[in-house]
Amino acid sequence: SGHGEGSRGSLIVLEGLDRSGKTSQSSRLVSFLEGRGVPVETWHFPDRRTSIGGMISSYLANNAQLDDRAIHLLFSANRWEKRSLMEAKLKSGTSLIVDRYSYSGVAFSAAKGLAIEWCKAPEEGLIAPDMVVYLDILPERAAERGGYGNERYEQLEFQRKVSDNYHDLSDSTWKIIDACLPEEDIQTQLRSLALECITGCRSGKPLSTLWL
């Protein structure tokens, strides 16, 4: 009930440092929403299944070297190649829970010393999220979780810079959840934020584009 004709889905983005818990929280959220009969999909950027995603994946695995700006543009292109599908899904009423988006793009590339404004430019015109949830964790605490693998960027010094950039990018509309709370409590907060957002979008809020 309540799915009015033409009601659209919500674009909900989860952001946070590596090891902040985004991936497991977003998959639990999607199962919960499915159980409530909400049409929903979980998405993840980078989407490593495309050919651009394959280039990103070998870069992250240190199997390929790329200029900082070139890899930045590939991450962005990986979102652009999904833009029309994203818009179609949202317009057809499916909500998307997206694990990383343009904010990761800017926060990670700017941590290498690229200017924030330069990093933001290629994201302009992508679909703007209806809600950004930031799983907040100190870089030191994330590092203690011990899951850092061998991927590029998974180092404390680098994550400190990423964290500073996320704080510069965030605005008062971001929902911040303490990523050090018990997993269950994080999930509870996330569920109520998501339901509220999805309800708000159904009642006619139009889609908009980055940067807000």
Site residues (vs ligand NYM, CB under 6 A): 18, 45-46, 60, 75, 100, 104-105, 108, 153
State the minimum distance, in angstroms, from the CB of residue 178 to ligand NYM: 20
Which CB, 10 or 159, lies closer to ligand NYM?
Answer: 159
State the minimum distance, in angstroms, from the CB of residue 206 to ligand NYM: 25
Name the residue among 113, 114, 111, 123 with its Cα closest to residue 83. 123
Which CB, 108 or 166, lies closer to ligand NYM?
Answer: 108
- CA atoms in the 13 A half-sphere facing the CB of 182: 3
Token pair of 106, please? Answer: 């800017």
Are 59 and 66 in contact by the 8 Å Cβ rule? The answer is yes
State the minimum distance, in angstroms, from the CB of residue 71 to ligand NYM: 8
Which CB, 46 or 93, lies closer to ligand NYM?
Answer: 46
Distance CA 178, CA 138 (A): 10
Which CB, 38 or 111, lies closer to ligand NYM?
Answer: 111
State the minimum distance, in angstroms, from the CB of residue 105 to ligand NYM: 3
Q: 2's torsion region: left (phi>0), alpha (psi -120 to 50) or beta?
A: left
